């Protein structure tokens, strides 16, 4: 039978270094005999404290006190002198906290799953009630989402190398032994699997193990560094609805815990445009709230144009925070979402922990020049004039939603020359049946299609129909500077929101930090998700944690 399931151990395979490897290093640091820490932990029969721990019969804290006795007794019996500061609790907590995800191995697991293999983690794990238990929680939370099954010894009452746990594994996978390959870094844990007929791989180093895994699966696994981050699926997330006022609600998806980060999309998009960022930001320790902006998806779409003025939209976001009990959030926006987050920073800085925009620069209102004059002077913005008459662009864009979104969502090297919306419509010059962009899947397109079947285009287009209102409101803040933590991310090949448009931002945001995405067009989050994630997470780590409430002067 062909292989169809791949099983990964945790310690020494998916996470490095293994606790046992760290214990060996600790022995050297404490001048203890080689193997002392590992030998005592592993020895003993079914009633030993370590086996009871792995079976879930006792917790980590209970086991530590028992191990403390075991180590001291073994040292005394062996004539070994333990250091005065010897602490089993500290040694094991340090070893557990030192573990990090083995990214090449995880990427291989993701690749195999995407290619149709069933994937599973089989691990001797424990119930962690220590003061450092958050470390294990974060680790398992990050890994779990990428696998079909997770079997932890402490949950099932069986531990490797007990033959029963391998039978349980096969039952869970609904697979015969010959259909399964199993990777572990301990030979004794592989033997029962091999005896049952599974293909086994002893992991001594990652690259060697992946080469062997490539051979048995027929999949390329070592050259996967450039693969896209794993996007979240709508069904994997919590969905919420916040009533803003009678007849108006905002829909959002949520993932993670920690300081809140509010993601605001642009036109014509959805919370789903942040699908590559949501899991990563959550894994970095943030509570991610990706909003369907007013007029989109499952949020309300009132028909009145004035409902989409920037003043009203910002008030809506303040109410959104209030109803969720959030005093302050990081705001990250793209396209029109970028306009909104800069406006939040300008008019409601006390509610903004930090602000970041992708592609959209901060441009203060000019009292001497109206926005219509600016647009008329820049042909690249001519589509915005086409959007002004209610009903016209709606009819064109809603006629064939498949065509609309396949025409709009194009990577920077797939976009034809010329500006859209100049003569005869926004989609003029695009084929009736456009090809699918390399940066989206058919499933992605259908998600947008279904969302816009619900909302239509009137609400989204109304964001463009408040130029005069937005200008007049913006003039009220014309003399202000933005002094809270701020990030501007430009995209090299965005032909509308070009990097050059941001060149004077430091005049108004003196502490501005910058990021730049090369070879990227307008749809930054989905064209270059790995690069965007790297810029955002680096900035969030330094500027969005424990930010003082006072401005930086």
Whether 74 is a known active-site residue: answer no
Burial group, residue 368, by CB count within 10 angstroms (0-12, 13-18, 19+): exposed
Q: What is the DSSP string of 63-93?
A: HHHHHHHHHHHHHHHHTPPPPTT--HHHHHH
Asked if 408 and 373 count as a contact pair (C-beta separation under 8 A), the reply is: no
DSSP letter at 181? E
Phi-psi region of 361 (alpha: psi -120 to 50; beta: other; left: phi over 0): beta
Only one residue has tokens 């014509």, namely 268
- Helical (H) or strand (E) element with 334: strand 329-334
CB 502 within 8 A of CB 252: no
Distance (Å, rounded) from C-alpha 125 to C-alpha 310?
Answer: 51
185-224 core/surface letters (b: 16 or more CB in 10 A; e: else) = bbeebbbbbeebebbbbebeebeebbebbeeebebebeee
* Cα 546 to Cα 261: distance, rounded to the nearest angstrom: 13
- Tell me the H-state helices in 1-78: 19-29, 36-42, 49-54, 60-78
Please tell me which residue in 184, 335, 444, 543 is annotated as part of the active site. Answer: 335
**338 three-class SS:** helix
Structure tokens at 249: 């609600």
CB 251 within 8 A of CB 272: no
DSSP calls for 194-239: HHHT-EEEE-SSHHHHHHHHHHHH----TT-TTSPPPPP-GGGSEE
Q: Are 242 and 249 a contacting pair, CB within 8 Å?
A: yes
Q: Indicate the burial class of 71 (C-beta count within 10 angstroms; 0-12, 13-18, 19 or more).
A: buried
Closest CA to 344 of 312, 372, 371: 312
Residues in contact with 101: Cβ distance below 8 Å, sequence separation at least 6, in sequence order: 14, 15, 139, 142, 143
Task: Say if CB 124 and CB 60 are below 8 A apart.
Answer: no
Taking residue 377's Cβ as centre, other Cβ atoms within 10 Å add up to: 9
Residues 214, 94: Cα–Cα separation, whole Å: 34
Strand ranges in 420-538 using DSSP code E only, listed in sequence order: 486-491, 513-517
Active-site residue among 166, 464, 494, 543?
464
Q: Are 461 and 388 in contact (CB under 8 A)?
A: no
Give catalytic status of residue 522 as yes or no. yes
Is 335 assigned a catalytic role? yes
Please give the positions annotated as active site: 335, 464, 522
């Amino acid at each position: 039978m062909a292989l169809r399931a791949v099983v990964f151990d945790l310690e020494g395979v998916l996470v490095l270094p293994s606790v046992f490897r760290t214990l060996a290093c600790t022995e050297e640091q404490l001048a203890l005999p080689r193997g002392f820490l590992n030998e005592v932990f592993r020895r003993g029969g079914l009633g030993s404290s370590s086996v009871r721990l792995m079976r879930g019969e006792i917790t980590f804290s209970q086991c530590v006190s028992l191990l403390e006795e075991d180590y001291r007794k073994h040292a005394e019996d062996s004539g070994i002198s333990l250091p005065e500061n010897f602490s089993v609790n500290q040694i094991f907590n340090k070893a557990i906290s030192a573990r990090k995800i083995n990214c090449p191995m995880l990427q291989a697991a993701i690749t195999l799953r995407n290619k149709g293999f069933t994937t599973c983690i089989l691990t001797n794990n424990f119930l962690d009630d220590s003061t450092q238990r958050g470390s294990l929680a974060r680790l398992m939370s990050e890994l779990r989402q990428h696998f079909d099954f997770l079997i932890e010894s402490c949950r099932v009452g069986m531990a490797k190398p007990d033959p029963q746990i391998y039978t349980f594994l096969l039952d869970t996978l609904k697979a015969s032994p010959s259909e399964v390959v199993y990777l572990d870094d301990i030979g004794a844990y592989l033997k029962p699997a091999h005896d049952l007929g599974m293909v086994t791989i002893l992991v001594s180093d990652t690259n060697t193990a992946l080469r062997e895994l490539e051979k048995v699966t027929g999949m390329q696994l070592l050259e996967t560094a450039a693969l896209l981050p794993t996007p979240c699926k709508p069904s994997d997330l919590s969905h919420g609805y916040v009533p803003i006022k009678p007849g108006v609600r905002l829909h959002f998806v949520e993932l993670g815990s920690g300081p809140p980060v509010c993601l605001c999309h642009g036109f014509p998009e959805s919370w789903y445009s942040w699908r590559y960022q949501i899991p990563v930001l959550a894994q970095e320790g943030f509570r991610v709230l990706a909003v369907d902006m007013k007029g989109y998806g499952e949020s309300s779409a009132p028909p009145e144009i004035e409902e989409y003025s920037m003043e009203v939209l910002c008030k809506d976001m303040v109410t959104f925070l209030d109803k969720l009990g959030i005093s302050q959030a990081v705001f990250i926006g793209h396209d029109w979402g970028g306009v909104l987050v800069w406006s939040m920073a300008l008019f409601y800085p006390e509610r903004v922990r930090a602000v970041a925009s992708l592609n959209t620069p901060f441009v203060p209102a000019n009292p001497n020049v109206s926005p219509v004059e600016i647009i008329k002077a820049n042909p690249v913005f001519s589509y915005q004039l086409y959007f002004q008459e209610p009903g016209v662009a709606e009819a064109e864009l809603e006629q064939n939603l498949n065509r609309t979104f396949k025409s709009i969502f194009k990577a920077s090297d797939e976009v034809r020359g010329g500006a859209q919306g100049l003569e005869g419509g926004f989609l003029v010059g695009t084929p009736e049946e456009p090809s699918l962009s390399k940066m989206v899947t058919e499933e992605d397109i259908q998600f947008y299609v279904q969302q816009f079947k619900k909302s239509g285009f009137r609400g989204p287009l109304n964001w463009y129909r408040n130029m005069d209102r937005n200008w007049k409101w913006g003039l009220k803040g014309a003399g202000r500077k933005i002094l809270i933590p701020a990030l501007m991310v430009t995209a090299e090949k965005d032909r509308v929101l070009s990097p050059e448009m941001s060149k004077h931002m430091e005049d108004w945001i003196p502490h501005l930090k910058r990021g730049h995405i090369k070879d990227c067009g307008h749809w930054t989050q989905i064209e270059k998700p790995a690069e965007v994630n790297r810029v955002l997470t680096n900035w969030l780590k330094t500027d969005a944690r424990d930010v003082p409430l006072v401005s930086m002067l």
